[in-house]
Chain A
Amino acid sequence: MAGHAEVEQRYRLLFERYWRRVRAYALRRCLDVSAADDAVAETFLVAWRRIAEIPVDNELAWLLGVARRVLSNTRRGDARRDKLLARLRQSAARDTVDIAELTVDASATAAEVRAAVGRLRAGDAEVLQLAAWEELSHAEIALVLETTPNAVGIRLYRARQRLAEELGRGLVTTVDTPMPERPHQPEP
């Protein structure tokens, strides 16, 4: 069993390396800074508690898998998490970032693609986002979604086809919403 110093060292490296990635993932998923930061806080609390379980060669995918479950509201009744979030909410150091300013491409085409992704089934949208926006491999996506890399390949193929169809329809419709208005929920 690793000593306190080793645990803290690994956690610090994990935090330094992935805090921003996990936050970006959470922001993409819920498009709400407070909700995203709460999810990030809970994700890293889980990581601290279960650091021995985190695979050294798949740390980001493990963290995103936790963040995904946190965002799907499947975890409840955790007193320490509630206290942590309460303390952070009371702090003056909350962030007020404007998500619109974080967008890679603010063009109408990009907005149309985002809208098309928002119209897909949640499962299709999620696998596309993990591949394109999180830049994860099939194996990493499989870890996040708790499935197999082969299944990920199939799901990605079908999701791309559906997105292409959706974009075909979207080209003759007016898109007023620059980004999906609701968070994508993972498949049950």
Chain B
Amino acid sequence: MTDATPDLDDLLRRANPVEDARLPAPVDHAPAQLLYEHITGTPYAGAPKPSRRTFGTLMAAVAALGLVGGGVAYAGLRPSKVRAHLSVACYAQDSLDGRVATVTATADGPVAACANAWALGGVGTGPVPLLAACVAPSGVASVFPSAAGANVCAQLGLAPLPAAAGGAPTTAAPGALTTSDTVDLLIQVRNGIISSLQGQCLDASTATLTVQHILQAARLPWSVKVPNPFPPDHPCASPAFDEQNDEVLLIGIPRQG
């Protein structure tokens, strides 16, 4: 069966009344983020790119230090400590400007978390490539596709993810990484809190006590906050994890099911 009008498809394509690219992505669109939060009951985390501005400021600081006193190695100023353990940035290309998907950290480490996201088609297309884990200027563990033997972190001016944080000094096959006690503990606590609150409808004060108990049992110096009173139609506590402030936030969501 052949097409009677070969140019028709092209005509049709150009008649498209709405070009996708002219619409904002969720990360740039407050209503989309609000929708996400209303549906899931958790704050929108999106797929933020590491701040180029922060990186630029850091490089300027490096240059200034070099001029003034010298002797401060660039590598010493690159952030090498992961400050956000519960999220991982998975990059589709070996570039900080490429598409990035933010995924929840798993006990298997950042590379395994991103390998899983790749396999689900959430990062890039095709089979899961060899992946390398670095620390982005924002302190988020960031995973990039890498050629065998390449030192992607160094090419991008980033520190490699320390093995203790679930990284490896160089590229490694997905799933082959170790995890640190810190990451393990955080993930266990997070999972414990989630499983304690899901499947039931706890009010703010009961949920606060439950979460405090879990945090104390794990000797994790985090606090619990209820940023807003629960509306009557959102009576059930749902947790969100703010690593920058070491806080578990409790948000009211509708009854499930």
Contacts and interface: CB of A to CB of B under 8 A. Distances in A.
A13 B103 contact: yes
A17 B18 contact: no
A19 B40 contact: no
Interface string B195-222: 1001000000000000000000000000
Contact of A88 (B4, B17, B24, B31): B31
B254 A9 contact: no
A24 B23 contact: yes
A44 B18 contact: no
Interface in A70-108: 80, 83-84, 87-88, 91, 93-95, 97, 99, 101-105, 107
Nearest to B19: A104
A133 B30 contact: no
A139 B182 CA distance: 46
Contact of B18 (A28, A94, A128): A28
Interface in B144-159: none
A8 B254 CA distance: 16
Contacts of B233: 83
Choose among A13, A110, A160 the residue with the greatest number of B CB atoms under 10 Å from its CB. Answer: A13
Nearest to B11: A113
Contact of A164 (B8, B15, B17, B35): B8
B53 interface: no
Interface residues of B, number: 52
B104 interface: yes
A56 B194 contact: no
A102 B22 contact: yes
B24 A103 contact: no
A133 B19 CA distance: 9
A104 B24 contact: no
A5 B194 contact: yes
A105 B121 contact: no
User: Contact residue range for chain A?
Assistant: 35 or more
B42 interface: yes
Interface string B80-104: 0000000000000000000001111
What does DSSP make chain A's interface, helix, strand, loop or mixed? helix
Nearest to B255: A80
B139 interface: no
Contacts of B18: 24, 27-28, 99, 102-104, 133
B254 A80 contact: yes
Given A56-B120, A93-B31, A110 B15 contact: yes
Given A99-B18, A157-B1, A128 B101 contact: no
A20 B12 contact: no
Given A133-B12, A160-B5, A164-B8, A3 B191 contact: yes
A35 interface: no
Interface of A: 3-5, 8-17, 19-21, 23-24, 27-28, 31, 37, 40-41, 44-45, 48, 56-57, 59, 80, 83-84, 87-88, 91, 93-95, 97, 99, 101-105, 107, 109-111, 113-114, 117, 128, 131-133, 153-154, 157, 160-161, 163-164, 167, 179
Interface of B: 1, 3-5, 8-9, 11-20, 22-27, 29-32, 34-36, 38-40, 42, 45-47, 101-104, 106, 117, 120-122, 190-191, 194-195, 198, 233, 254
25 contacts: A4-B195, A12-B40, A12-B45, A14-B122, A16-B25, A19-B32, A20-B25, A24-B23, A40-B35, A45-B39, A57-B121, A93-B34, A99-B17, A102-B18, A103-B17, A104-B18, A105-B14, A105-B16, A110-B14, A110-B15, A128-B12, A132-B9, A133-B13, A163-B8, A164-B8
